[in-house]
Every structure is written in C-alpha cells, then in structure tokens.
Amino acid sequence: MLRISVIGTGYLGATHAAGMAELGFEVLGVDNNEAKAAALSVGKVPFHEPGLPELLAGHVAGGRLRFGTSLVEAAEFADVHFLCVGTPPGVNGAADLSQLYSALDGLVPHLTRNCLIVGKSTVPVGTAEALTARIAELAPEGISVDLAWNPEFLREGHAVFDTLHPNRLVFGVTTPDAEWALRQVYSTPIAAGSPVVITNLPTAELIKVSANAFLATKISFINAMAELCEITGADVTLLAEALGHDDRIGHKFLGAGLGYGGGCLPKDVRALIARATELGAGESVDFLRDIDAVNLRRRERVVRETLALLGGPHRSTGRVGILGAAFKPLSDDVRDSPALDVARRLHAAGVEVTVFDPAATNTARAVAPQLVFAATPAAALHEADVVLHLTEWREFRELDPVFLRTVARGRVLIDARNTLDPEPWLAAGWDFRALGRLVEPRTAAGRVGAPAGATYSTPAVAVRDTVADQARALPQPSPLTRLRARVRRTA
C-alpha cells in the first residue's frame, strides 16, 4: 500500500493526515513548528474541530499516524506527499507562496524513489506550473517526480466528514501515473460514490478559488438585498426563502446577516482579484471588489446601529454584551471574523465590550486582548445596554430570554445572524432587531373577537414547517377579499 506524508499540519494538514489514516494508509505528518508536532504526536489537536481529536488520537495510539519535523524523513518514507502549508495574504491581497517553496526545497532534494507530490493548498492559477519547474531543478538524478493538484473543499465544523466523504474530488494531473496514484489514495470515497473531475493543473487551481468566490458572491448578494429590505420595509428572510425554492438558486448561503469571514473566503476573493490583475484580466473580476465591499459594509451597519442605540458615535460610555467571536459556529477560528471585528470596532469607539463564545475564547483573546471575555452568556450580558448576536451557535438559540432580561440592563438585542426566534424574546419584553428582517408588533384592531386596543407580535419568519403552520401564523383574509382574489384570477 502507498505510504503518505502530509507536509504542514495546520487545520487542513492535521485533518487530512487523520483522514488518510482513517482510510487505511500509514501516514507521517510533518511541520516546522516543533510544539505543534509534539502536541499532535500525543493526540492533541491545537484547534477546535468536532470529531477530529478522537479520530487523530485513535490513529496515533494505533501507530498508523505519527508526526515529526523532518522533511528528510518524509522524503525517505512516503510515496505520495501532500502539501498542506499555508498561503496567507501578502502584498495587495496576493497569496504568499513562501511556505510552499520552502517545503519543496526541504523535500525534493532528499527524495529516494519515484513519487507524487500533491498540492492541496489554495494557490493562484499558474503556481503549479512554476512549482513543476522548481521540482525539476531540485529532484535527484534518476528520480521521477510528478506534481498534481487536489484542492480541498472542507467546511470548518464538518471537516472530518468532508475529508472522508467528499462531495467531489478534483485531480489536476499531467500523467496517467499521477491519476492512478490519486485514485488509489481516494479509492474508498470513490467507491462510495464521490464524483471525480480529472483536469489540468490550471483548472484545478482555479476551481478552488472560483468556488469560494461564488459562495462569497451569493452571500453578499443576499446582504445587498437586505440593505434594500431595510430601506423599503421588505423582509429578506422571506425573500431568501422564495429565492431558495428555485432549484437553480437553492437555499444554501442565502442567510442574510453579518457576512462571511474566516481564513478562506475573504482571502481567496482578494487573491483572485490580485491574480487576475497580474494577468491583465482585472476587469473580469471587478465585481468581486463590490462583493468584498458589501461584506465589510454589513459589519459597519451593526457598529453604527449599536452606537446609535448607545447615544451616538461620539458617546464614550455604554456596555455591549456580544454572543460569538468565531467567524462561524463549530469552530474556534477568528481569522477575519466579522464578530470579532465588530467587537474591536466598538471597543475602539469607547464602548465597554464583553464577549462570550463557546469555543473561540482563547483564540479571540490572543488577537484581541483589549476585550473582556466572559465564561458564560449571562456574564457577557451582565448590565449590558445592548446585546449583539454575532455568531450563530446553536447554544445561543437555546438561551432563556426571560432570565437574560434580569441580567442585562438595556434589553435591546440585535440579531445580526437572523437565526434567533424573535417570538420568545419579544414575549420576554426585549426590543428585538434584525438585519433586513421584519420584526414588529402589529395591532389586532379590527380582527374579529379582538379586544379593544389589543396587540400581537407577528415577526416575519423565514421558514414555516408546514402549510398549516403558515396558515395559522398569518392573518386570514375576509371572505370578500378571497372572493375578489378569485375574480381576479379568473378574469
């Protein structure tokens, strides 16, 4: 059986190494960070990813997976080498490829057998061609080295499942031997039905960044519609529901709110703009600049409204309790996190900010030590004038608004993710606000049987479980209105 090395054991590399071990391969993970390699060697994962600690620890204990710091050892050990190093943003958003070149420089001269090197890192189109030339310069005489590109499509919080059950496999290859080796590596998911796309190196490189650019476009589109909804009195959640029923569009990534963040979408959008500009095709991706601008504008929208609630942008006092620091739930990743960005902006404006996150407290504190972090949601909301819901953790949907009303001072909540149910918050006396979503009390005057002056709350809800639920939730038209509707339909 083929033996595998995984070079770079950050989020992608550690997950991929554990996944390869789960698929039955003997795996060596290599990292130039000794502390990280030492922690992984005893089964400790230095970041939050559900299911990964158990998977990794099990295969470390069983001997199928080990970690070290020597690229020379990797060169002697493996038949297939996966490059999973970081490509962080550099000048003008362009990807910094220094870690890729460093990995090749440390690996290729020490190769002792014919092998396949597989890039999984997200790179600008044209990178693989340059790396191929570099490999040819470094490879020992008589050693044949193929380069392939196999982009990753992991969702943070679901990375283990996505590694073992990929929704597609992209093989950018130049030789039949490279395709054969990748099919051996992924034989189990291929047998289970994962589709395989065989393509050339530039296409494989572009598939990853274009996928992320498309997802970012979809998110910013619905957030642009949310801005229109806020001006016109429309409801973006119902708008998104209606759009999603069109199978050409779909429901996914149509959740309006605070926008996207993390280590992939923002970085990849800006890197694609930079690379297209380098290639003289900047006009072809000009729209992506607007996509990025819409995304950043949603954060500013929440900051402005919060400061207005506290008395204006020049007010230097006020307390805000924030629910969420990670860029998304089921993760402790705070890279380009909209939640943490909002928290830091408010703090810079003179607001007292206290943050709670179920998993990201340590990572958030490391990059934003000026903020106060609480151990519980109630502690974060203590004496808060305004509460902000900024990361859509399931735990926040289960909070008790009645109890929290006794903790907070202001009883104003901004649901910047549009995932909380307004009903219990309104019933508990909260001023519930959302982005592009109608949440307003409506009078019951004129309804049959309604007592004089009665009011009822009818927040707009994006998804109804059944048609019957929807019928019960909406005011029923009178018989005359129904008759007129029938006449109009048959006219």
Catalytic (active-site) positions: 264
Helix (H, G, I), strand (E, B) or coil at 321: strand
Give the residues across from 393 on adjacent strands.
Answer: none
Structure tokens at 463: 């998804």
H or E stretch including 66?
strand 65-68
Which of 103, 114, 48 lies closest to 80, judged by CA? Answer: 114
CA distance 347 to 341: 10
Dihedral of the CA atoms 102, 105, 106, 107 (nearest 10)? 120
Distance in angstroms (rounded) separating the CA atoms of residues 270 and 267: 5
Distances, alpha carbon 474 to alpha carbons 391, 458, 470, in Å: 29, 8, 6
- Nearest-Å Rg of the Cα atoms of the chain is 26
What's the full length of the chain, in residues? 491
Among 117, 99, 107, which Cα is nearest to 174's? 117
| Closest by CA position to 253, among listed 297, 286, 223 | 223
CB 323 within 8 A of CB 390: yes
Q: Is 164 helix (H, G, I), strand (E, B) or coil?
A: helix
In the chain, the N- to C-terminal Cα span, in Å, equals 73
Question: Which residues neighbour 308 within 8 Å (Cβ) at sequence distance 6 or greater?
Answer: none
Phi, psi dihedral angles at 147 (to 5 degrees): -120, 130
In whole angstroms, give the CA distance from residue 359 to residue 326.
8
Q: d(Cα 126, Cα 77) in Å, to the nearest integer?
A: 29
Using alpha carbons, select from 181, 132, 173, 129 the residue that is nearest to residue 150. 173
